[in-house]
A and B are shown apart, each in its own frame.
Chain A
Amino acid sequence: MNRVASTFSLIVLVVAAAVSLLAIRPALPAPQSPAGFTETPTPTATDTPTASLAETPTDTPTPTPTDTPTPTPSPTHTPADMPIPILTGTPAPPVLRETSLPPPPPTNTPPPPLNSPSIVKQVNLERAQVGDILVFTIEIINPNPVPIGDVVVSDALSPLVDYLGADVPRGEFSFDSGAYTWTLRLGAMAPNERVTLTITTRLSERAQPPGELLNTAVLTSTQGVTQSNTTNTLVVPKSLPETGRR
């Protein structure tokens, strides 16, 4: 009888020992992974993409090649972004990240077309008598943000005026007395440059009322030919009518 009882006790002890071993097993440290995942310090924002790639477990979702940063990532694919999907296993949707990126800079967009320079001409008198001084003011503007070249302004004066002189800020000015034409060679004009010149004349005795002086200046440049507005001066009599006799 005692022999049976001791055998039973031995079986109970063996079973109890087996049960306790099974109960204790989950509390034991997990075996190390082959890649040493748990021993690797949590990557910080300063970790390089190269290190992250080397430490990526094989069972972690790997981003597609297009989303994976290269060893020399652009600023938008910062290393700080990459460890997060690797560690959590829930990488952010690559498509959303791509749409937030600015479009790549254009490489073959043609430059905007250049505008023709403008030329505006004014005269100091709308009505003039013989002997009056007529001053023509010509303003030339390059409206473009880039220089334009070969700017030349010319103007054939009316034969009814005598040329007296010119006030020119820069460039090569010349007056051809035969053709009765002045020419100003400005060359290149800087972006948004404005040049103003004045031509001084006198209404000659050749002018007879009620004649008109029409005058237009012409500008040529790399942008083509531009005509100014036409100034108009009416020649009026030297005196009012004599409406009294005795």
Chain B
Amino acid sequence: MTMFSRRRFLGVLAAAIVCPHRTMSPAPPVSLDIPALNLLNVPVMPLPIVNGAWDEARLGAREVGLLQTTGRWPGDALAMVLAAHVTLEGGVRGPFYGLAALRPNARVTLQTQDGRLWHYRIIGRRLLRPSDVKAIYHRDGRRLFLLTCATWNQRRQAYAHRLLVGATMDLTAAEL
């Protein structure tokens, strides 16, 4: 076990022993911070399914949507999935424009409706086809996924893929 992983292990252990009151609560997220993308206090809103599809029309240049039928809060049975535009009409950059450049261990912070902060770190990413809907359902409420479009197809004038970036909840002692 390396020094880093030992410290992380001790941090998680301390989180479980020293701070048992820090339990998952059914409070939905209301804002998002990704410092590496200069995203600070970005509003998070529910993104419902309307007429059989997620209603992405509700998303603009500033909003991030929590997909209905995925996790509803940190620690829910399923992982939460937050979606936002990569670009908008007229070439305007969306909130997740730089998501593909996000490095592993980059920090992500969610604030829930009860005012609590939940810290995550990036662990990986993958490309999905638009029809790979089932791939975003993950049975681990400590995970968080960020979703946006990827791979612009000039001929079809549409994005051919979706980029799914995964993060895991961070409970190191320094954050307690």
Contact = CB atoms under 8 A, between A and B. Distances in A.
Interface of A: 126-127, 129, 208-210, 234, 236-246
B47 A241 contact: yes
10 contacts: A210-B49, A236-B137, A238-B131, A239-B53, A239-B131, A240-B130, A241-B56, A243-B59, A243-B162, A244-B85
A240 B136 contact: yes
Interface of B: 47, 49, 51-54, 56, 59, 65, 67-69, 83-91, 94, 96, 128, 130-134, 136-137, 147-150, 152, 157-159, 162
B90 to A, nearest CB: 8
B130 A242 contact: yes
A79 to B, nearest CB: 75
Given A127-B137, A208-B52, A210-B68, A240 B132 contact: yes
Contacts of A244: 85-87, 94, 148-150, 152, 158-159
A237 B52 contact: yes
Contact of B152 (A237, A238, A246): A246
Contacts of A208: 51-52
A238 B84 CA distance: 18
Contact of B54 (A127, A129, A234, A241): A241
B148 A243 contact: yes
Contacts of B157: 246
A246 B52 contact: no
A238 B131 CA distance: 6
A237 B132 CA distance: 10
A242 B47 CA distance: 12
Nearest to A205: B52
User: Most A CB atoms within 10 A — which of B53, B56, B85, B133?
Assistant: B133
A242 B49 contact: no
A239 B90 CA distance: 24
